[in-house]
Structure 1
Amino acid sequence: MMEKRYQGEWLSLSSALTPPLAVEILPHGVTIHRIIVQVEGKTHDILIGPENPKDYETFKYTNTIIGRYANRVRVGEHTVKKDGFESSVRPISNESPEVSLHGGLVGFDFAVWQRLSLENAKLFTPAEIRTIQNSSTSEPSDNTAIYAYTSEDGDQGYPGELYLETLVALLPPAQGEKGKVGSIVILYRARLTNEGITPINLTQHWGFNLDASLQEDGSGKDKLSVKNHRLNIRASHTAELLPNSLPSGKYCPVGGTVHEHNDKLIKEGYPNHGYDHYYLLAPRPCEKLVPHRISAKEFDTAKAGVELNIVKEIFESTNEPVVQLKSEKSRLKVDFDSNQAGLMFYTNNHPNKQFRKKIHGGSGIKDDGYINGSAAFLEFHEPLSAFLHPEATPNSTDTLLTSNEIYNNFVRADIFVDSDASAM
């Protein structure tokens, strides 16, 4: 019997008009273990990862939530101030003596999150719960789940006790959405339980390969690259990195560089060591953007009966995607939207080669893993170490959360069978 942390829970939806969509979630780090899509009788799992959920113990930072702070932060003591609150942050080294990666030694990716019933959710308003309940004609528990976790004061060097809830929802396509299979929404909420301030920057560290399930057996291992996927990122700048991969605080325009991903093949201009870069998204003045923070006072008023429904805005959004990943070979396409200022794009340059899913041609056992360049990790979050470089990106948040606010961060992935793509 597997430990509770690795017992997957399935969310699914299906329709007579479109292929079905299903997601398997593990309480271990709110891991999205599988995204299953049916295309013309073929079953695809579009996420890389181990076959056995327990192998996420060593298959770190794959398909999990990352926090309290995504990416890299300089080790040391940092004073943070905002709105009259002040505290000290002491990130713990784990990647190198001067670098703290993805929240520290034991981040949110390794925590055991508890699934809540909708009526027990604390960080969603009554109006939002009704929207979640009405998001499908099937039972709500079949296509939505909320997971909760409490991070204690001082956890991995971060101040303040932080209570978090993560919503994962599958949405059916709206009437008339040609080729659409459905949507996956991940919404993170967090609140300090006492007065204070803390940095927070969450993301889902998921790795996509839209062709991996086309491998019929282990002989396809060397064909698992995503370099023939097409990628479009509506970016304006990339973050400049120091030799230790910490951000310098400077941003460089993408125009005319390999970082100008304008529906080009990933292999075009592919760097020697692959992609591992943060992209600052271009401003979107004509689109309604979901807020990064909710006033705690406004939220508490809404809990008492006043309508506040950001979930509805996300579920019904018609914004243009900020990122698109597609494959002509599988004819699958994923459009992404988020309220975050940017994203990391990483091509699995230093993969854990121990395990590979059977549906991807692997054996599922040790020493049969993925090659370099085998995934497109698309991790939406605010700029790197933003609380240490607030002047670098004035149009984004400083990633500081006070007890007067509710953290609100979402990513939405719309999955399509691309009828306009021809098989390679």
Structure 2
Amino acid sequence: MFMQASGRNVGGAIAAMATALYLATPTLLSAATAERGSFGTLPDGQAVESVTLTGEDGVSAVIITYGATLQAFNVPDRDGNVADVTIGYDRLQDFIDKPNYWGQTIGRYANRIADGRFALDGKDYQISQNDGTNTLHGGTLGFDKRNWRIQSVRQQGKIASVTMTLRSADGDQGYPGQLDVTVTYSLDDHGSLTIDFGAKSDRPTIVNLTNHALFNMAGEGSPYGTYGQRLTIPAARYTPVNEKLIPTGELRPVTGTVFDFTTGRMLSDGIRNGRDPQIAIARGWDHNWVLDKGRTEKPGLAARLEDPRSGRVLEVLSTEPGLQFYSGNFLTGELTGKNGHVYRMSDGIALEPQLFPDTPNQPDFGSARVEPGKPYRHRMIYRVSTDR
């Protein structure tokens, strides 16, 4: 009788303690956390905020409101050593003084539009040209150079997230329609950073949003760069480009070329192959791959990047039909980034899921049109793991 009574008392005490612990510290039931902070002040006095999302598995992501930028992505290797796998800047002033597309949210239209022109409903539009005669990544003042507003920071179950918003006025950079844009970064406890893009317009316009992180799975600033890493892209075709890096309209098979990543290819294999005119034009790879999966309701695999030294693996998933793979060809050692590291060619590579470049001028590529009542949606995922 004594033992039974004591057991009941102990059980009740444990239950009471558990209830008190839950009421006092509910976040213990949610392993993923979100911490809001500061990342400096813009010259006009606007505060730039940061949000750090941390998962139970040791993965963390730092997002700043300037450019709705993935400023850091910290990932353990097979031995548990954590490194930032994205190149970029430590200081806000560097983002302002030496702008680059390093982790930013890109829009209104990611990638290139030929001569900065397109037609919509019989009307011609001229948008700002910032890449020779082309428009690149939205124009001179794209979404990457705006200070977004935090709408919410949440910890729900095993997921921590931040949602940011931006309003782009009718005529911004020459694009028609007022566009209300949202981007949500969500990190879970299993190494998946999901990025949800949404956009609503009050009149017909074009939209193509993506994230432009440059990855080095050996760790930012690694002296080995990315040459020793293996990339897989499930795409049997790609879109060759002209001398202005605008797609010619052809969907060319990758078979027998240095553009064949269907079964995996080391990045050192082909990046300097000047016998292929496409490599010579772009100084390496800077092309769009036509993903075999096409445009999908749920995210499908767009790329897999593996670093044999550290064991780190990145999978990029997306609902979009194309993947722009840029091998860091224009990193010339002129820019100093995080931790005082000088970035050279292929110290980071971009894997950007999106619509095809110049789609508004190439009907065979599909449509980038967004209308009132028919919002734009794109979900992409950066999923990290380790290979033993």
**TM bucket, shorter chain:** 0.7 to 0.9
- Counterpart Cα distance in 1 of 2:385 and 2:293: 25
- Counterpart Cα distance in 2 of 1:117 and 1:8: 12
2:131 is the counterpart of 1:73 = no
The 3 A distance-change label for structure 1 pair 242 and 74 is same
- Counterpart Cα distance in 2 of 1:253 and 1:199: 28
- Counterpart Cα distance in 2 of 1:5 and 1:73: 32
2:309 matched to which residue of 1?
Answer: 329
Displacement of 1:189 after TM fit? 0.2
Per the alignment, in what secondary structure is the counterpart of residue 404 of structure 1?
A: coil
2:200 is the counterpart of 1:191 = yes
2:1 is the counterpart of 1:32 = no
1:355 matched to which residue of 2?
Answer: 336
- Counterpart Cα distance in 1 of 2:80 and 2:248: 49
Per the alignment, in what secondary structure is the counterpart of residue 88 of structure 2?
A: coil
Structure 1, unaligned runs of 5 or more: 119-131, 174-181, 216-222, 291-312, 420-424
Q: How does 1:82-93 map to 2 (within 5 A)?
A: 87-93=123-129
From 376, 380, 398, give the equivalent of 2:353.
380
2:170 is the counterpart of 1:153 = yes
- Counterpart Cα distance in 2 of 1:7 and 1:34: 14
Contact 2:182 2:199 in 1 (8 A): yes
Contact 1:34 1:46 in 2 (8 A): yes
Counterpart amino acid of 2:368?
T
Task: After superposition, give the CA deviation of every residue in 1:342-375 in whole Å (9 maximum; x if it has no partner).
Answer: 11111111126321222xxxx2xxxx52111111
Counterpart amino acid of 2:130?
N
- Counterpart Cα distance in 1 of 2:184 and 2:72: 16
Counterpart amino acid of 2:52?
W
Counterpart amino acid of 1:269?
G
- Counterpart Cα distance in 2 of 1:135 and 1:282: 34
- Counterpart Cα distance in 2 of 1:104 and 1:224: 33
Q: How does 1:12-411 map to 2 (within 5 A)?
A: 12-14=54-56, 19-39=57-77, 40-57=79-96, 58-75=98-115, 77-81=117-121, 87-96=123-132, 98-117=133-152, 134-136=156-158, 143-173=160-190, 182-192=191-201, 194=202, 196-213=203-220, 215=222, 223-261=223-261, 262-271=263-272, 272=274, 273-283=283-293, 289-290=296-297, 321-351=301-331, 353-358=334-339, 363=340, 368-391=341-364, 393=365, 397-411=366-380
- Counterpart Cα distance in 2 of 1:88 and 1:184: 38
Bigger Rg, which one: 2
Contact 2:316 2:351 in 1 (8 A): no
Query: Taking structure 1 as the reference length, what is the TM-score of the superposition?
Result: 0.74
Query: Taking structure 2 as the reference length, what is the TM-score of the superposition?
Result: 0.81
The 3 A distance-change label for structure 1 pair 87 and 189 is farther
- Counterpart Cα distance in 2 of 1:270 and 1:411: 26
Displacement of 1:250 after TM fit? 1.8
Contact 1:68 1:102 in 2 (8 A): yes
Contact 1:43 1:213 in 2 (8 A): no
Contact 1:6 1:54 in 2 (8 A): no
- Counterpart Cα distance in 2 of 1:20 and 1:46: 13
Contact 1:224 1:370 in 2 (8 A): no
Contact 2:323 2:353 in 1 (8 A): yes
The 3 A distance-change label for structure 1 pair 95 and 406 is same
Displacement of 1:339 after TM fit? 0.6
Counterpart amino acid of 1:401?
V
The 3 A distance-change label for structure 1 pair 134 and 274 is same
Task: After superposition, give the CA deviation of every residue in 1:12-71 in whole Å (9 maximum; x if it has no partner).
Answer: 111xxxx31110011011110000123334221000112223311214111101111111
- Counterpart Cα distance in 2 of 1:68 and 1:388: 16
- Counterpart Cα distance in 1 of 2:342 and 2:317: 30
Structure 2, unaligned runs of 5 or more: 1-38, 275-282
- Counterpart Cα distance in 1 of 2:387 and 2:303: 15
- Counterpart Cα distance in 2 of 1:156 and 1:68: 9
Displacement of 1:404 after TM fit? 2.8
2:24 matched to which residue of 1?
Answer: none
Q: How much is the aligned-residue C-alpha RMSD, in angstroms?
A: 2.1
- Counterpart Cα distance in 1 of 2:231 and 2:290: 15
- Counterpart Cα distance in 2 of 1:212 and 1:151: 35
Per the alignment, in what secondary structure is the counterpart of residue 387 of structure 1?
A: helix
Counterpart amino acid of 1:279?
W
Displacement of 1:135 after TM fit? 4.7
Displacement of 1:242 after TM fit? 1.3
Contact 2:118 2:360 in 1 (8 A): no
- Counterpart Cα distance in 2 of 1:5 and 1:260: 45
Contact 1:117 1:146 in 2 (8 A): yes
Aligned residue pairs, count: 333
- Counterpart Cα distance in 1 of 2:152 and 2:270: 48
Counterpart amino acid of 2:89?
P
- Counterpart Cα distance in 2 of 1:145 and 1:388: 35
